Amino acid sequence: MIKMWYNNKLMKKYIVTMLLIVGGFIGLANAQETFVGVQVQRINPNITEPVFRFDRQTDSVGPVVSFTNYETKNLGLTAEGSAVFSGENQTTQLYTALGGLTLKSRSYNSVQPYVKALAGVGISRVGNILGDTKTSVSPTYKAGVGVDLGKGKVKFRLIEGGYQYTRFYDQRQDAIYLSSGIVF
């Protein structure tokens, strides 16, 4: 029975994902950097227009919070949580809890570019006007780049953009996201 459990590919993915989440949340207790902002996410993007327009069918918006504890001058453990909502009356909801690494150029006082790679779990809830709700849980992976501006303890996260992969309801879902907010 244990051998069958260990050979299950999905279980292996969940174990790796949970280890990455735990690693990211280690920095939570002594976070040297906290980010609070808003995130806009587009599921399965089909970029055909030169101008970004918010579409209620494919786009979601909501809060995002992250905590980073730098283990070296530039390398930090990051824990991130987000909740985005879309559709009429916010009938589609996506919650994520992610952990991973952030590499940030902290040498410059006023401009600090960074990259990050996170993994964790996502929960999708889809409802309709009749009140029926479907829920799906999936491993979630996120890679992003961004830049923080400002000096001192409080900075402005000008922009962060990236890619997020999930597999809800047995369907691959690719997403692009943009976020902005305050870093302290």
Beta bridge partners of 179: 39, 160
Q: Is the pLDDT of residue 46 over 80?
A: no
What is the band of 9 on the pLDDT scale with cuts at 50, 70, 90?
low
Beta bridge partners of 143: 117, 163
Unique residue bearing structure tokens 């992969």: 165
Decide: pTM greater than 0.85: no
Pairing of strands 33-43, 171-183: antiparallel
Instruction: Report the distance separating Cα 85 and Cα 81, nearest Å.
Output: 14
Give the start-to-end residue ranges of the domains of the chain.
2-183
pLDDT tens track for 94-153: 999 999 999 999 877 799 999 999 999 999 998 876 778 899 999 999 999 999 999 888
Question: DSSP letters of 135-148?
Answer: EEEEEEEEEEEEEE
Do 121 and 96 meet the contact criterion of CB atoms below 8 Å apart?
A: yes
Sign of the four-CA dihedral 72, 74, 75, 78: positive
What number is the average pLDDT over the span 163-179?
A: 94
Give the rounded percent of residues in the chain with a pLDDT score beyond 90: 58
CA-wise closest residue to 175 among 122, 127, 137, 126: 122
CATH for the stretch 2-183: 2.40.160.20
CA 72 to chain centre: 23
CA 180 to chain centre: 13
150-180 per-residue burial string, b: 16 or more CB within 10 A, e: under 16: beeeebebeebebebbbebeeeebebbbbbb
pLDDT confidence of residue 47: 63
Q: Is the pLDDT of residue 179 over 70?
A: yes
What is the band of 27 on the pLDDT scale with cuts at 50, 70, 90?
very low
Q: Is the pLDDT of residue 32 over 80?
A: yes
